[in-house]
């Protein structure tokens, strides 16, 4: 958990770090609409580096961040103590007494130049989770509002969400909490101007072509469109975070009656999973 919280803090302070573009010839191609300035390596304090693959979210940039993290871990660099990803970047923390900053920077840049990360394979061992979800009703009261913003009927909004297989793009904001994307273009709807004071654990909220599945009860500016019994943060379990970046999720519509019965199903709330790769 600490790594994700730490990394999210770093991501939002990138303008305070020195950034290094990849100036040497390399096979890496930025996503469509991005300039050739990407990827970039930024210094994060005395013991960290952040590799940024874009300044806006895209599938290739997210793919690159996930794949590069795996490559760093497989490289087995003895000085690297921690890695994590955000939506479009990879963070690594290293022991500066074990490897000098300049040497670690060069290792990272050499690995970056070794292939086109925007076209890399997603991590092995990913899972597809199918999560029973009530859409609308008093359990998720902002479905109609979200559908109207998207220019869809309620039925069409539910159908499009349910038919879309969403990637866990990153984990953050709260322990084990996934940002999932991308939804169809109609769901490029803004956040609310005001906060909803509280939505429950297991809430499905929508904005900017993404879904967040809440791991804790919290305020939000995103619209509450669905509700699950899926418990994502299990602090007493050997693996406290159920989802991992690169996993995929499908939300399967159920009735309020089925939702009520799932209270007896334990922390999975009726969710099932299969290994994708």
Q: What is the CATH number of the domain that holds 155?
A: 2.40.100.10
Residues 84 and 139 in one domain: no
> What's the pTM value of the predicted model, to 2 decimals?
0.86
CATH number at residue 48: 3.30.1360.40
Residues 147 and 256 in one domain: yes
Domain endpoint, select from 99, 119, 139: 119
Please give the residue range of the domain that contains residue 103: 2-119
Residues 204 and 153 in one domain: yes
The pLDDT of 66-95, averaged and rounded, is 97
Domain count of the chain?
A: 2
Please tell me the chain's helix, strand, coil percentages from 3-state DSSP, rounded to the nearest 5.
Answer: 25, 25, 45
pLDDT at 5 over 90: no
Domain endpoint, select from 84, 119, 154: 119
Residues 61 and 87 in one domain: yes
Average model confidence (pLDDT) across the chain: 90
For the stretch 27-60, pLDDT in tens is 455 666 555 789 999 999 999 999 999 999 999 9
Q: Two tokens at 266?
A: 């334990």
Residues 182 and 147 in one domain: yes
Burial (0-12, 13-18, 19+ Cβ within 10 Å), 48: buried
Residues 168 and 233 in one domain: yes
For the stretch 203-259, pLDDT in tens is 999 999 999 999 999 999 999 999 999 999 999 999 999 999 999 999 999 999 999
| Range scoring the smallest mean pLDDT among 17-26, 100-109, 157-166 | 17-26
How would you write 150-190 as a 3-class SS string? HCCCHHHHHHHHHHCCEEEEEECCCCCCEEEECCCHHHCCC
The pLDDT of 98-112, averaged and rounded, is 96
Domain endpoint, select from 97, 119, 141: 119
pLDDT at 17 over 70: no
Residues 242 and 153 in one domain: yes
**What's the pLDDT at 122?**
95
Residues 109 and 164 in one domain: no
- Asked if 221 and 195 touch (Cβ cutoff 8 Å), the reply is yes
Residues 91 and 171 in one domain: no
């Amino acid at each position: 958990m600490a790594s994700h919280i730490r990394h999210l803090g770093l991501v939002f302070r990138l303008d305070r770090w020195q950034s290094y573009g990849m100036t040497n010839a390399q096979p890496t191609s930025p996503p469509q609409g991005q300039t050739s300035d990407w990827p970039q390596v930024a210094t994060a304090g005395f013991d960290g580096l952040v590799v940024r693959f874009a300044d806006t979210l895209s599938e290739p940039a997210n793919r690159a961040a996930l794949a590069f993290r795996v490559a760093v871990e497989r490289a087995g660099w003895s000085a690297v103590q921690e890695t994590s990803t955000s939506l479009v970047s990879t963070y690594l923390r290293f022991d500066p007494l074990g490897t000098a900053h300049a040497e670690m920077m060069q290792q990272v840049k050499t690995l970056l130049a070794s292939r086109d990360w925007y076209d890399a394979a997603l991590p092995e061992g990913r899972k597809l989770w199918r999560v029973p979800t009530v859409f609308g009703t008093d359990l998720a009261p902002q479905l109609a509002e979200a559908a109207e913003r998207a220019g869809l009927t309620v039925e069409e909004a539910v159908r499009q969400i349910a038919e879309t297989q969403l990637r866990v793009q990153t984990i953050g904001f709260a322990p084990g909490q996934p940002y999932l994307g991308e939804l169809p273009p109609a769901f490029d709807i803004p956040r609310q101007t005001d906060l909803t004071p509280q939505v429950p654990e297991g809430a499905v909220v929508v904005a900017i072509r993404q879904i967040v599945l809440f791991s804790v009860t919290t305020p939000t500016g995103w619209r509450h469109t669905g509700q699950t019994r899926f418990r994502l943060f299990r602090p007493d379990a050997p693996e406290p975070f159920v989802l991992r970046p690169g996993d995929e999720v499908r939300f399967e519509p159920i009735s309020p009656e089925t939702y009520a019965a799932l209270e007896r199903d334990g922390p999975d709330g009726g969710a099932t999973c299969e290994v994708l790769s």
